[in-house]
A and B are shown apart, each in its own frame.
Chain A
Amino acid sequence: MSEAFMSGLMGLTAGFAALQWSHVAMMIIGGILLYLGIKKDCEPLLLVPIGFGCILINIPLAGLMEKEGFLRIIYDAGIITELFPLLIFVGIGAMTDFGPVLENPYTFLLGAAGQFGIFLTLLIALALDFPYKDAVTIGIIGACDGPTVIYVASKYAQHLLGPVSVAAYSYMALVPVLQPPIMRMLTTKKERETVMKTHKKTVSKITKILFPIVITVVGGLIAPMGLPLLATIMLGNLMKESGVVSRLAKAAENEIANVVTLLLGLCIGATMSGPVFMQKTTLIILVLGLVAICLDTVFGVLFGKALYYMTGGKVNPLIGAAGISAFPMSARVVQKEGQKYNKKSFLLMHAMGANAGGQVGSVMAAAVMLSVLKGMGVI
């Protein structure tokens, strides 16, 4: 009888007995993510499920990520199959107005300059002896685009999914803190004060409808390996711009995006198990992610500066900082920074153009990268 009692009690204390310091540390990190999401309003839609998922997975013996565990089922269904990031992209496409980039198509180039960080960080990761596919996955944090990062990680380096996703989303939330010092450091006061002309509306409805179709076909032909990323974002945008399937467009940007965001967040959290996450590699990845996003901003602003000189001072170089994919946060940062130096300067629409260009640029950079890898026989 007493033995049965003891065995029963052992069952109730086994969880505590299996608890390691790394589990506790990760629970604290999960708590910090929840705090940032709930109290500081930093990407709460993602940080709340990620933080909670992180706490869940670090409770020993629950087996949530073991075969038949509920998180494992969701993970296998949506991450292994790459379905979640692609569904999110349909929603992003339906939410994004590419009008500003179509008003000034040259801003696509700012979107390209904002991707330098991806490739330079890849080089740094290689220098630090990361394997090729891991280096590619780390570099892609510089896309500053959560679903792209998750897509590439789930395809080529699933063991890095947790750290790269956390890095991507955390740094996206930190764009208002990270970008302004770099913008100030690389531009003169005179450049920052530049007033840009506001354009009248010049994009026809048919151009807006043709945009996602043409980009999908041309982009798909150039970089077929990234077609799923490009096609899903453009499908969402086509639904929005066509105006005839508003129910589908609304479902994509609301119900589908919300459900998938919840499941995606939980799955990312579920990859943050203490013994796996608490490694030196994670810290290096977090630092490299920061480097990637800073380099994106540096090259974006430098390209903006080049445009400033090429156009005889008609382009405010600050808009180059918006050539990353953190949409529309980065454009708002540019507007705020421009206003600080010249109250008559309204950069928002130009920055939105660069930002929408950055959205396409990040997807294209990932697509090109995957196609080059395929061409080289690495994947």
Chain B
Amino acid sequence: MDKWTFGLTMLVVGMGGTIVTLMIFSLIMSALKKVFPYRAGQDD
């Protein structure tokens, strides 16, 4: 594998993978917030 194939794969798959993973985290945490909403008093 030449260095440009390696570098571009890292850029596309690596950066893409990071964005997708954090997007998944964002969706999961939004869902968890809806499932377990904050209740004043109970969660303080």
Residues of A that sit less than 8 Å from B by CB: 101-102, 105-106, 108-109, 111-113, 115-116, 118-120, 122-123, 126-127, 132, 135-136, 201-207, 210-211, 214-215, 218-219, 222-223, 357, 360-361, 364-365, 368-369, 371-373, 376, 378
Q: Please state if A357 and B22 are interface contacts (CB–CB under 8 Å).
A: yes
| B37 contact set on A, CB distance < 8 A | 202, 204
A112 with B10, Cβ < 8 A, contacts A105-B25, A207-B29 known: no
Q: Which of B25, B36, B39, B42 has the most CB of A within 10 A?
A: B25
> In the complex, which of the residues A115, A122, A203, A360 contacts B10, with contact meaning CB atoms closer than 8 Å?
A122
A368 with B24, Cβ < 8 A, contacts A102-B33, A207-B33 known: no
Q: Which of B3, B22, B28 has the most CB of A within 10 A?
A: B22
Residues of B that sit less than 8 Å from A by CB: 1, 3-4, 6-11, 13-15, 17-19, 21-30, 32-33, 36-40, 42-43
Query: What 15 additional pairs, Cβ within 8 angstroms, besides A102-B33, A372-B17?
Result: A105-B29, A109-B23, A109-B26, A112-B19, A122-B7, A126-B3, A201-B40, A204-B39, A214-B32, A218-B24, A222-B17, A222-B24, A361-B18, A361-B22, A368-B17
Q: Please state if B29 and A364 are interface contacts (CB–CB under 8 Å).
A: no
In the complex, A350→B3 CA distance in Å? 39
In the complex, A214→B24 CA distance in Å? 11
Query: Nearest residue in A to B27 (C-beta to C-beta)?
Result: A105
Closest-CB distance, A296 to chain B (whole angstroms): 12
In the complex, A368→B29 CA distance in Å? 20
Q: Please state if B10 and A119 are interface contacts (CB–CB under 8 Å).
A: yes
| B22 contact set on A, CB distance < 8 A | 108-109, 111-112, 357, 360-361, 364
Q: Please state if B9 and A219 are interface contacts (CB–CB under 8 Å).
A: no
Q: Please state if A126 and B6 are interface contacts (CB–CB under 8 Å).
A: yes
In the complex, A376→B6 CA distance in Å? 9
In the complex, A236→B24 CA distance in Å? 22
Q: Please state if B25 and A218 are interface contacts (CB–CB under 8 Å).
A: yes
Closest-CB distance, B30 to chain A (whole angstroms): 5
Q: Please state if B14 and A206 are interface contacts (CB–CB under 8 Å).
A: no
Q: Please state if B19 and A109 are interface contacts (CB–CB under 8 Å).
A: yes
Query: Nearest residue in A to B3 (C-beta to C-beta)?
Result: A126
| B28 contact set on A, CB distance < 8 A | 214, 218
In the complex, A227→B43 CA distance in Å? 30
Q: Please state if A365 and B14 are interface contacts (CB–CB under 8 Å).
A: yes
Q: Please state if A203 and B38 are interface contacts (CB–CB under 8 Å).
A: yes
Q: Please state if A105 and B38 are interface contacts (CB–CB under 8 Å).
A: no
Closest-CB distance, B42 to chain A (whole angstroms): 8
